[in-house]
């Protein structure tokens, strides 16, 4: 297989694009494409301050690297979740995020959930009895809340996450299976800013996961290979496997699934009723983020509940 641009030996072959590229041309192609998506979906400009959510995994580090190479003003945010899982998951991922920041002379904000709220994610999850024994519900809630809070407190215009096409297609698949109008109408590369919340963008949403793996390998970016130990057996991984089977049989199916959805949503004929998705929102009295829950937002309610409890995790029943 030869590079389409220079005829040298290709390093990456993208069947869905009918495109093979050598290392150098691949490392040029990825930022070019990212820039195209940033413009197409009007994600942000070079004057805006961007906060990149960095987990130490390949996607977020690749995103940070690409935005920096493109000349955007992007700082990083690492959230210490306190997850060990026998592999020191949080420690290892933080170390890699810090190493990347250091090597590229970038600014990384690190926030430790346990220091901030008194408990790690697994303990918060146990004590709050949310999520049926898996910490992912509490983890997701906390990450969203903290990313929003820090972006607002530190005056960032945009919050960027490293979600790739495989992530987005899996979420879309799940939402479609449930015909969840609320989620479907809000899913996309850009979630506009609202009162109290920064704009959220996903500049990598059109790249396959394997394209990001290839980018990190060819760029020499060291990232955490292990998944979070709690990810095992999750529904989203199961959906990704199903979509991978589909992709093997029909290269490009995943991308088409996602892009056709975006087109349908944009044209406004995804759902006839236009008012779904406009849940009634009011600012949480404690943190000020918009919420549809009565009184405090779900996050602040969880923290209040946990802080009002006594004794060791799991001792209450
Ligand atoms: S939600 Fe669940 Fe992830 Fe949090 S606990 Fe791990 S797997 S990190 S994306
Ligand atoms: Zn080439
Ligand atoms: Zn709140």
Q: What average pLDDT does the segment 117-146 reach?
A: 93
Q: Please work out whether the CB of residue 135 comes within 6 Å of at least one atom of ligand 1.
A: yes
Q: Which two tokens stand for residue 304?
A: 């209040």
Going from the Cα of 14 to the center of ligand 3, the distance in angstroms, rounded, reads 44
Q: Please work out whether the CB of residue 231 comes within 6 Å of at least one atom of ligand 1.
A: yes
Residues 6+ apart with CB under 8 A from 80: 90, 94, 110, 111, 112, 113, 114, 115
In the structure, ligand 3 is a single-atom ion and the residues with CB under 5 Å from it are 284, 286-287, 297, 300
Task: Check the CA dihedral 303-306-309-310 and report its sign.
Answer: negative
Give the predicted TM-score (pTM) of the model.
0.89
Residue minimizing CA distance to atom 8 of ligand 1: 228
Q: Give the number of the atom of ligand 1 that is nearest the alpha carbon of residue 122.
A: 5
On the question of pLDDT at 196 being above 90, the answer is: no
Q: What is the pLDDT of residue 6?
A: 98
CB–CB of 58/164 below 8 Å? no
Q: What is the pLDDT of residue 317?
A: 45
Q: Identify the H or E element spanning 79.
A: strand 73-80
Q: Please work out whether the CB of residue 139 comes within 6 Å of at least one atom of ligand 1.
A: yes
CB–CB of 3/9 below 8 Å? yes
On the question of pLDDT at 251 being above 80, the answer is: yes
Going from the Cα of 21 to the center of ligand 2, the distance in angstroms, rounded, reads 5
Q: What is the pLDDT of residue 293?
A: 85
Q: What average pLDDT does the segment 182-203 reach?
A: 93
Give the ligand at the shortest distance from the Cα of 297. Answer: 3
Q: What average pLDDT does the segment 219-248 reach?
A: 96
- Label residue 206 by pLDDT band (50, 70, 90): very high
For all residues of the chain together, what is the average pLDDT? 93
């Amino acid at each position: 297989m030869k590079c389409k641009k220079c005829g040298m030996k290709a390093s990456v072959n993208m069947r869905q694009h009918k495109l093979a590229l050598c290392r150098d041309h691949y490392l040029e192609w990825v930022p070019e494409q990212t820039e195209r998506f940033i413009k197409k979906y009007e994600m942000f400009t070079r004057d805006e301050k961007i906060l990149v959510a960095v987990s130490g995994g390949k996607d977020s580090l690749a995103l940070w690297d690409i935005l920096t190479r493109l000349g955007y003003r992007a700082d990083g945010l690492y959230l210490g979740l306190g997850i060990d899982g026998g592999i020191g998951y949080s420690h290892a991922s933080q170390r890699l995020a810090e190493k990347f920041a250091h090597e590229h002379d970038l600014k990384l904000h690190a926030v430790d959930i346990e220091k901030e709220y008194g408990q790690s994610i697994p303990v918060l999850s146990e004590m709050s009895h949310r999520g049926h024994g898996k910490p992912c519900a509490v983890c997701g809630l906390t990450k969203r809340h903290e990313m929003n809070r820090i972006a607002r407190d530190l005056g960032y215009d945009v919050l960027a996450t490293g979600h790739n096409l495989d992530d987005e297609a899996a979420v879309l698949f799940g939402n479609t299976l449930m015909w969840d109008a609320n989620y479907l109408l809000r899913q996309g590369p850009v979630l506009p800013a609202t009162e109290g919340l920064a704009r959220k963008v996903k500049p990598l949403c059109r790249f396959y996961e394997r394209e990001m793996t290839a980018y990190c390998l060819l760029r020499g970016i060291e990232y955490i290979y292990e998944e979070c130990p709690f990810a095992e057996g999750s529904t989203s991984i199961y959906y990704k496997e199903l979509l991978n089977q589909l992709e093997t049989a029909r290269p490009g199916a995943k991308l088409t699934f996602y892009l056709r959805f975006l087109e349908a949503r944009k044209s406004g004929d995804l759902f006839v009723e236009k008012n779904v998705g406009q849940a009634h929102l009011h600012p949480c009295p404690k943190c000020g983020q918009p919420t549809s829950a009565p009184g405090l937002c779900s996050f602040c309610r969880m923290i209040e509940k946990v802080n009002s409890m006594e004794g060791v995790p799991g001792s209450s029943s």
